[in-house]
Amino acid sequence: MRNAGLGCWPARRARMTPERTAFIFADRPVTYAEVHDRTTRLAAQLRASGVRAGDRVAYLGRNHLAFVETMFAAHVLGAIFVPLNFRLAAPEVAYMLGHSGADVLVYAPECAEVVRALPGDAARPREIVALADPAPGERHYDSWLAQGDPTPIDTPVRLEDPALILYTSGTTGRPKGATLTHGNLVWNCFNLLLGVDVTSDEMTLISAPLFHVAALNQTLLPTFLKGGCSVVMPSWEVDACYDLIEKHGITWMFGVTTMFAAFARSPRWAGADLSSLRHLMAGGAAVPAALIRTYQERGLVFCQGYGLTETAPGATFLEASQSTRKVGSAGVPVFFADVRVVRADGTDAPPGEPGEVLIQGPNVTPGYWRDPEATAAAFTGDGWFHSGDVAVLDEDGHLYVVDRVKDMFISGGENVYPAEVEAAIFEHPAVAEVAVLGVPDAKWGEVGRAFLVLRPGARVTAEELRDFLRPRLAAYKIPVYVDVVDELPKTGSGKIHKPRLRDLPLPVSR
């Protein structure tokens, strides 16, 4: 095959294990042979509509088999796949479609209102395909795919060719489109498979959104490569997760901190049969040690990794054998990458001293789509990628992520890292979720403000929380303001969305 990228994976898997189940979605199993056939037919239709190597094909919707089929079909042709956050409003989607120059948009029914509201200008793709109820001028996904030519297609694709454009969450300013090549994705899979003992009988639960780099690249693609089965949830829901684990004998799942916290708070936590689970992987944000211990006390191996969209995403990983000895660590650099922690002057920080994380390796993005200035700013002169994250290394070389550089605030001349404060607050038995940020203060410059979601029936006052924290944190790290809220705003990938919290007025009393 001349296609060295992901576009050849369905054909190769169908050649090796045609009858093995590749996916289960809505209780329907789909074999690798079926994935190959449907992907080939869809690729033929995309080609007939004018898609060529280097063109962009976008997908907007919740997790669905059509997401995977559209991605692989685009890659069969050497086109670039652009997965979009289904929670975005029409102007945000229009910006990403226009910026990427998408020629085709495949969308799910829950996004119909957004697609109808797209402006009728250059940002609107020339071909729009609906999974259900197409509007006039649009294609119907299944019937269009079924009419496609099943003859195999072999387009020359190199590992260095772009495979994905993944837009950052856009928490500040316009989102950037991180470009990942086929080689970035392949090397990331190698790194993951060297750190996790993924098997060909894996039953992987895809519960996080697939437009999120970790759900796609840390679970679905490695499972596909090994010939395992991915059980795809349309969206995260705690009870559905318990049901699927018990029904299918799920062995492996990935989630962000908020997902695993909600899972452990469920009334089903104590009595559910979770014996099939071999690996639990967390990423996206620092995981409080208290939450990791909660899982370990349940007899579950809970491992944390660290990475970014721009690193495809794995940069470090904590192997299962170290999960108890190094609780809270994000591990050591993955096999085919290197990581440094540096001071502001670029010199390496010694163990225990916070510094910015720099990453280098074949999994690292070549840059941002149509943004040479952002690309240049993202790398050091000798090619290391600036993560924008603060971490410390211990004497054994294990990485402990402290916080985002931009989230750090200075109180009375001292650096405060909100993630450290959040981890201490999370230890309080009344707290279900927490977010901490810095707010202006006339005396200290900035002080901490904590937003708490409490467990059902629990109560805690601001002073009770501060009393709890005094033995655990330096005085300047303890939040001055404490807000109890019903819920915390989340990004599309499930992370807490702090910019929306920053817009809230300060309470009258402390």
The Cα–Cα gap between 3 and 154 comes to 6
DSSP string, 81-105: EEEE-TT--HHHHHHHHHHHTEEEE
Preceding omega of 372 cis (within 30 degrees of 0): no
The Cα–Cα gap between 4 and 235 comes to 32
The Cα–Cα gap between 10 and 238 comes to 31
DSSP string, 115-182: HHTS-SSTTS-SEEEESSSPPTTPEEHHHHHHTS--S-----B-TTSEEEEEE---SSSSPPEEEEEH
Selected residue with higher pLDDT from 305 and 416: 305
Q: Answer whether 169's CB lies under 8 Å from 180's CB.
A: no
Label residue 122 by pLDDT band (50, 70, 90): low
Quick check: 171 pLDDT over 50? no
Distance of CA 349 to the CA centre of its chain: 28
In this prediction, residue 509 carries a pLDDT of 57
In this prediction, residue 166 carries a pLDDT of 97
Q: Alpha-carbon torsion 314, 318, 320, 324, what sign? A: negative
Please report how the helices 462-469 and 418-426 are oriented relative to each other, as an axis angle in degrees rounded to 10: 100
User: Mean pLDDT across the stretch 73-98?
Assistant: 93
The Cα–Cα gap between 50 and 127 comes to 9
The Cα–Cα gap between 283 and 141 comes to 33
Q: Answer whether 27's CB lies under 8 Å from 40's CB.
A: no
Quick check: 499 pLDDT over 90? no
In this prediction, residue 266 carries a pLDDT of 94
pTM of the model: 0.85
Lowest mean pLDDT among 49-63, 65-79, 323-337: 323-337
In this prediction, residue 383 carries a pLDDT of 97
Please report how the helices 289-297 and 257-265 are oriented relative to each other, as an axis angle in degrees rounded to 10: 50
Tokens of 235: 């969206």
Question: Mean pLDDT over all residues of the chain?
Answer: 92
In this prediction, residue 115 carries a pLDDT of 95
Q: Answer whether 329's CB lies under 8 Å from 396's CB.
A: no
The Cα–Cα gap between 95 and 119 comes to 10
Label residue 172 by pLDDT band (50, 70, 90): very low
Q: How is residue 309 annotated by DSSP?
A: G
Write out pLDDT tens, residues 178-211.
999 999 999 999 999 999 999 999 999 999 999 9
Write out pLDDT tens, residues 5-40.
999 999 999 999 999 999 999 999 999 999 999 999
**372, containing H or E segment:** helix 372-377
Name the pairing type of β-strands 162-167 and 177-181: antiparallel
Write out pLDDT tens, residues 92-111.
899 999 999 999 999 999 99
DSSP string, 55-70: -EEEEESSS-HHHHHH
Burial of 439 (0-12, 13-18, 19+ CB in 10 A): middle
Quick check: 134 pLDDT over 70? yes
Quick check: 226 pLDDT over 60? yes
In this prediction, residue 261 carries a pLDDT of 86
Q: CA triplet 426, 324, 224: central angle to 5 degrees?
A: 95
DSSP three-state, residue 346 = coil
Q: Answer whether 219's CB lies under 8 Å from 196's CB.
A: no
User: Mean pLDDT across the stretch 457-468?
Assistant: 94
Show Cβ contacts of residue 253 under 8 Å, excluding neighbours closer than 6 positions.
204, 205, 207, 219, 241, 245, 277, 279, 280, 281
Selected residue with higher pLDDT from 413 and 255: 255
Q: Which residue in this structure is represented by tokens 């509007």?
A: 135
Quick check: 286 pLDDT over 70? no
Tokens of 285: 């944000």
Burial of 106 (0-12, 13-18, 19+ CB in 10 A): buried
In percent, the amount of the chain with pLDDT more than 90 equals 76
Show Cβ contacts of residue 52 under 8 Å, excluding neighbours closer than 6 positions.
77, 78, 79
User: Mean pLDDT across the stretch 303-326?
Assistant: 91
Selected residue with higher pLDDT from 92 and 249: 249
In this prediction, residue 418 carries a pLDDT of 87
User: Mean pLDDT across the stretch 228-238?
Assistant: 96
Tokens of 40: 């080939």
The Cα–Cα gap between 208 and 211 comes to 9
Q: List C-alpha distances in Å: 380 to 48, 135, 180, 189.
A: 43, 48, 19, 25
Selected residue with higher pLDDT from 282 and 430: 430
In this prediction, residue 90 carries a pLDDT of 87
CB-CB neighbours of 290 under 10 Å: 18
CB-CB neighbours of 395 under 10 Å: 8
Write out pLDDT tens, residues 344-386.
999 999 999 999 999 999 999 999 999 999 999 999 999 999 9
Quick check: 77 pLDDT over 80? yes
**390, containing H or E segment:** strand 385-393
> Domains in the chain, ordered, with CATH?
6-157 (3.40.50.12780), 184-405 (3.40.50.12780), 408-502 (3.30.300.30)
Label residue 335 by pLDDT band (50, 70, 90): very high
Selected residue with higher pLDDT from 415 and 343: 343
Label residue 402 by pLDDT band (50, 70, 90): confident
